[in-house]
């Protein structure tokens, strides 16, 4: 819209200046030059012994030292063929001289007007225009440049003023999507933008309060559950040797419940922005691989040196550990860890050789309390991948699951290089 308005403004300005400034000026110049030329032919031209040619006779009659008269050959030698023909000037001059005239202009250090008058089509008259040259900017050009610059500057300032609150709103929306809740945004911009900003502030405040309430609720439930679990654990340890098999089952169930509670707590944590330090994903992968090597019968690694990123190392070790645990749980003994770098991101992947997942079920695995189908089993609370995606997105990255060609599942995590600090 702004571009269209500026274009219309330029066209109107050009037409206005051309009609009310350039056209009257050119008519006045043509009228003055036409009067000069008519003076040469008022009383006719007589050829004499001293002036045997028509051009020489006109030169002798001319009282203007600036006005020069050439034969066709002399005109060509002085550059008439390089001059530019102007139709509207020729039409105006034809009206002044009462016949068909030819007007051309040579530009350079000084503008030269060439006129072939209807009274003597065999000669050329050259009239210089003092004070006009290519080094001088014409009023039309200067006017259009100033108007265009002011219009562009005004449009840029207007667009910037209107888009500034939208950019601020965009950054805040990205922060909320990553689990970070900024302070309320100032109400600036048009009425519509202010209304959207106000609604966003209300939404952000409600989501922050909801997150806090959920965290408090889950923390309370986890605390209340752990108290009776501790009592059950103590009671089971006091059971007789005859009930050892029952004691081991109870202890195993308590460990599973503790793990589920830990996953609940990990899922509701919102402090990923804290404790971020410069660290390398390849080093974190190596640490997890060394720690899990004794559990994995067939471990393959392919690590490349990666640049350091601003990460929460504890959270990302949890991510890597969770993906490795899934590969161990649902695979057939083989786990492959690899990492690399592209032009825009760094990535790492964890692969297994299990039965995989149907392609139409992969996207559902990231939903809380969702597990894979029977091909992958249904162990756990279904929060593992939801926690993983939450941590990865909190760092501006993405996780993608895909089935391997040779069988099994591949989990790849990508983080943008823009996060490098």
Q: Which of 125-129, 180-184, 369-373 is predicted least confidently?
A: 369-373
| pLDDT value for 44 | 67
Q: Is 196 within a domain?
A: no
Q: Is the pLDDT of residue 322 over 70?
A: yes
C-alpha to C-alpha distance for 130 and 112, rounded to whole angstroms: 9
Question: Does 142 map to a domain?
Answer: no
Does 112 lie in the same domain as 17? yes
How many Å apart are CA 305 and CA 169, to the nearest integer? Answer: 37
Q: Are residues 312 and 414 in the same domain?
A: yes
What is the Cα–Cα distance from 331 to 354, expressed in whole angstroms?
A: 4
| CA dist., res. 201 & res. 224, Å (int) | 34
Measured in residues, the chain has a length of 421
Mean pLDDT of the chain: 79
Q: Which residues contact 11 (CB under 8 A, 6 or more apart)?
A: none
Q: Does residue 131 share a domain with residue 11?
A: yes
User: Among residues 136, 162, 189, which one ends one of the domains?
Assistant: 136
User: What tens digit of pLDDT does each residue of 376-413 get?
Assistant: 444 455 667 887 888 888 888 899 999 988 788 999 99
CA–CA separation, 281 and 299 (whole Å) = 18
Span 22-43, average pLDDT: 76
Q: CB of 165 within 8 A of CB of 189? A: yes
Supply the range of the domain harboring residue 19.
2-136
Residues 67, 131 within the same domain: yes
Given this model, what pLDDT does residue 51 score? Answer: 61
Range name among 42-46, 76-80, 230-234, 248-252 with the lowest pLDDT average: 42-46
Quote the tokens at residue 163: 């888009």
Indicate the residue among 268, 300, 321 that finishes a domain: 268
DSSP H helices, 293-370, are 313-330, 359-362
User: Where does a domain end: 92, 121, 136?
Assistant: 136
Number of domains in the chain: 3
Give the full edge-to-edge strand order of the sheet including 334-341.
Answer: 298-302, 334-341, 345-352, 409-416, 398-403
Q: Is the domain of 106 the same as that of 240?
A: no
Q: 155 in a domain, yes or no?
A: no
Question: Measured between alpha carbons, how far is 326 from 335 in angstroms, rounded to an integer?
Answer: 10
Burial class (CB in 10 A: 0-12, 13-18, 19+), 58: buried
Q: How far apart are CA 95 and CA 205, in angstroms?
A: 79
The verdict on 311 and 342 lying in the same domain is yes
Same domain for 57 and 78? yes
pLDDT of 63 reads 64
Residues 327 and 367 in one domain: yes
Q: Answer yes or no: is 223 within a domain.
A: yes
pLDDT confidence tier of residue 375, bands split at 50, 70 and 90: very low
pLDDT score recorded for residue 373 = 47
Confidence of residue 135 (pLDDT cuts 50, 70, 90): low
pLDDT in tens, 50-99: 566 767 777 776 766 677 888 888 888 888 888 888 888 888 888 888 88
CATH label of the domain that carries residue 260: 1.10.287.130
Residue 116 near residue 72 (C-beta atoms within 8 A)? no
Name the token pair of 295: 């559990």
* Paired strand residues for 409: 403
pTM of the model: 0.47
Would you say residue 244 lies in a domain? yes
Q: pLDDT band at 259, cuts 50/70/90?
A: confident
């Amino acid at each position: 819209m702004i571009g269209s308005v500026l274009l219309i403004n330029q066209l109107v300005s050009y037409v206005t200046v051309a009609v009310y400034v350039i056209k009257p000026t050119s008519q006045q110049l043509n009228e003055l030059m036409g009067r000069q030329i008519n003076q040469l032919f008022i009383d006719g031209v007589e050829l004499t012994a001293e002036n045997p040619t028509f051009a020489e006779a006109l030169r002798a009659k001319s009282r203007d030292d600036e006005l020069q008269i050439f034969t066709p050959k002399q005109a060509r030698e002085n550059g008439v063929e390089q001059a530019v023909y102007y139709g509207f000037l020729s039409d105006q001059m034809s009206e002044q001289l009462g016949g068909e005239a030819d007007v051309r202009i040579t530009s350079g250090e000084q503008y030269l007007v060439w006129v072939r008058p209807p009274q003597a089509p065999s000669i050329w008259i050259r009239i210089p225009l003092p004070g006009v040259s290519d080094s001088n900017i014409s009023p039309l050009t200067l006017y259009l440049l100033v108007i265009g610059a002011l219009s562009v500057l005004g449009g840029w300032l207007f667009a910037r003023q209107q888009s500034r609150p939208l950019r601020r709103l965009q950054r805040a929306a990205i922060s909320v999507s990553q689990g970070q809740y900024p302070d309320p945004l100032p109400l600036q911009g048009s009425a519509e933008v202010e209304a959207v900003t106000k609604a966003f502030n209300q939404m952000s405040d409600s989501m922050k309060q909801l997150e806090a309430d959920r965290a408090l609720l889950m923390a309370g439930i986890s605390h209340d559950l752990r108290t009776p679990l501790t009592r059950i654990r103590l009671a089971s340890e006091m059971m007789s040797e005859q009930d050892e098999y029952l004691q081991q089952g109870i202890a195993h169930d308590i460990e599973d419940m503790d793990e589920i509670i830990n996953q609940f707590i990990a899922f509701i944590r919102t402090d990923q922005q804290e404790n971020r330090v410069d660290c390398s994903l390849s080093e974190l992968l190596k640490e997890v691989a060394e720690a899990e090597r004794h559990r994995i019968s067939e471990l393959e690694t392919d690590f490349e040196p990666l640049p350091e990123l601003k990460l929460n190392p504890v959270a990302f070790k949890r991510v890597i550990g969770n993906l490795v645990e899934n590969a161990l749980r649902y695979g057939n003994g083989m786990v492959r860890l690899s990492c690399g770098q592209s032009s825009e991101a760094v990535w790492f992947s964890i692969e297994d050789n299990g039965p995989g997942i149907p392609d139409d079920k992969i996207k559902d695995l990231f939903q809380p309390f969702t597990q894979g189908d029977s091909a992958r089993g249904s162990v756990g609370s279904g929060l593992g991948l939801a926690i993983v995606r939450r941590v990865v997105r909190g760092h501006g990255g993405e996780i993608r699951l895909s089935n391997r060609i040779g069988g099994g599942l591949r989990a790849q995590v990508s983080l943008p290089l823009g996060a490098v600090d």
